[in-house]
Amino acid sequence: MTTHDDRDHSAVVLRPIEVADADRVHEWASQERACGFQPWGPNTREETGAFVAEAARTWERPEGPRLVWAAASSALGVIGTGELKRNTPSCAEIAYAVHVDYWGRGLGTEIARLLLSIAFADPAVERVQGTCDPRNLASAAVLRRAGLMFEGTLRHTVHLRDGWRDSAMHSILRGGWTHQANQ
């Protein structure tokens, strides 16, 4: 699955994440600003290794409820991760992270779009959702730019180091995706 990023002119590819990606993932997972709105991190190298090993194991059951990809470009190597969860047969959920060195180049949006196209390739999927901390304006922008619509705020869904946080729920329906893909 490949796409084109208008702003840095490099192809972004999603491929199954591998244990060997752990050092690269740790470059951002070890940083405070990459996990400020997440219940994990900053990671030790062991924690990142455990996360990547678990993510790689999702490929032992490709038909299972969760799959994790490494996002890579030929110019930059691995620049992030993308994740698809199947909440119900008709509802999938996307999540993503981008290496802190490459924020603001449109890569998060490209990963989100690739995840949507994978999700909607399954005709059973009617709805794809994505959530973020309402304070995570970059993630909210990614969801919006990928075509998801803000639906409302779920209260106290995730416990962070400094207390409970809310989740801004966004979604796109199959009709919206088809319309967008034909533009």
Residues that bind ligand COA (CB under 6 A): 34, 37, 95-98, 103-109, 132, 136-139, 141-142, 145
CB of 16 to ligand COA, least distance (A): 20
Listing from the earlier edge strand, what are the strands of the sheet with 91-98? 2-4, 11-16, 66-73, 77-88, 91-98, 127-132, 163-173, 149-160
3-class SS at 64?
A: coil
CB of 88 to ligand COA, least distance (A): 20
Nearer to ligand COA, 124 or 149 (CB): 149
CB of 6 to ligand COA, least distance (A): 10
Nearer to ligand COA, 56 or 107 (CB): 107
Helix 137-145 × helix 107-120 angle, to 10°: 50
The residue nearest ligand COA at its CB is 108
If we measure between CA atoms, which residue out of 71, 56, 177 comes closest to residue 125? 177
- What is the DSSP pairing of strand 2-4 with strand 127-132? unpaired
Task: Tell me the two tokens of residue 18.
Answer: 């591998």
CB of 13 to ligand COA, least distance (A): 15
User: What CA–CA distance (Å, rounded) separates 119 from 171?
Assistant: 13
Nearer to ligand COA, 132 or 172 (CB): 132
Nearer to ligand COA, 2 or 61 (CB): 2
